[in-house]
Structure 1
Amino acid sequence: MNSIIIETFQEAQELISQVLNRENILPQIEAMAKQMADVLLNKGKLIACGNGGSMCDAIHFAEELSGRFNKDRQALPAIALSDPGYLSCVANDYGWDNVFARGVDAFALKGDLILGISTSGNSTNIIKALKTAKQKECFSASLLGKEGGKLKGFCDYEIIVPSNNTARIQEIHGIIIHLLIELIEKELFTSQGENPQSPLFC
C-alpha cells in the first residue's frame, strides 16, 4: 500500500519536471491564457467540453471563471457543456459523438473560444466540437495527453502533456487549468500599481 502511494507521487513529480523541461509547453500556456483574456475583453465567451474526468475539468474551468478563483472581480462568461438533460437529449437523438458539436453550434458566436479537453486527443465528440468551432470562426484550444492523438496540430492553441498515464495527465491538466485562470485574472484584473496596462482593475 505504501509503495503505491510513493510511486504515485514520484510519477507526478517526474511528470511535472518533464513539463517544466519541455521548451514549448510554458509558452503555450501563456499564449492560450492571453488569447482567452483577449476573447473575454472583447465581450466573447469561453466554452469548455470533455468526457468523464475531462468533463469535470471543463466544469472546474468554467465555474472558477464565472464564479471565483483568487480575486473578487466581475464574473466572466465561461460555460461547460455538461448539463445532463441536454447531453442525454442530444445523445439520444443525434448520438454521443455529436453532443458537444451541437452545443457549440447552439451557443458559440464568432470570436468566442472553444476549449476541448481529451487525454487521448482521439475523442470523436471533442474533435467534432472543435471542427464546429472553426466553422463558426471561433478560436480553438485543446488540452491533450499522450502524443496528442488525432487532435495534434488541429487547434489554434494546444498543450500536450507528455504521458501515457491517464490519471497523471488529468492531474497536470488540473494544474494547467488553474494556471490559465490565474493568468487570465492577472491579465484582466489587477491593481493599477501592479499592471498599469491592465484594462480592468479590482
Structure 2
Amino acid sequence: MFLEQLINFYNPGDVVVAISASGSSPNIIKAVEWAKEQGSLVIGLTGPKGAKLKSHSDVCVMAPTAPYELIEDFHVICMHTMVTALKEAYGGAQ
C-alpha cells in the first residue's frame, strides 16, 4: 500500500520518514526496503519494540512508552520538531 505511493512520488535524493507504532508493519517495511534500494536516507519513528523498522532505518527514534496512544503523541511531537528545524534551516516559515 505505501510502496505504490512511494514509487509514484519518490524523487532521487528524497528522505523517507517511516512511522509505525509497532515497528513491524509489513507495508511500512516493504516501502522502507524499496527506499533503501533507491539510496534514500530513511528516518524511522516507532515504539519501544520497533526493532524491525529500526534495523531498516538510518536514524530511528523510538518512543520510550508502550501504549499506542502515547507512541502516536510522541510521533506528533517528533514531526513538529522536524518541521520546525527544517523551516529554521531553510529560511523560516515561508
Task: Compute the TM-score of the two structures, normalised by the length of structure 1.
Answer: 0.44
Q: Does 1:177 align with 2:76?
A: no
Gaps of 5+ in 1: 1-98, 191-200
CA distance in 1, matches of 2:43, 2:58: 6
Percent identity between the aligned chains?
Answer: 30
Aligned residues: 94
Cross-structure match for 2:67? 165
The structure number with the bigger radius of gyration is 1
1:144 Cα deviation from its structure 2 partner: 0.5
Higher strand share: 2
Gaps of 5+ in 2: none
- 3-state SS, counterpart of residue 81 of structure 2: helix
Q: Does 1:118 align with 2:20?
A: yes
Task: Compute the TM-score of the two structures, normalised by the length of structure 2.
Answer: 0.90
- 3-state SS, counterpart of residue 105 of structure 1: helix
Contact 1:140/1:156, CA 8 A, preserved across alignment: yes
- 3-state SS, counterpart of residue 28 of structure 2: helix
CA RMSD between the two structures: 1.6
Higher helix share: 1
Q: Does 1:128 align with 2:30?
A: yes
Cross-structure match for 2:54? 152
CA distance in 2, matches of 1:149, 1:121: 6
- After the TM superposition, list the runs of 4 or more consecutive aligned residues in structure 1 that deviate by more than 4 angstroms: none
Cross-structure match for 2:90? 188
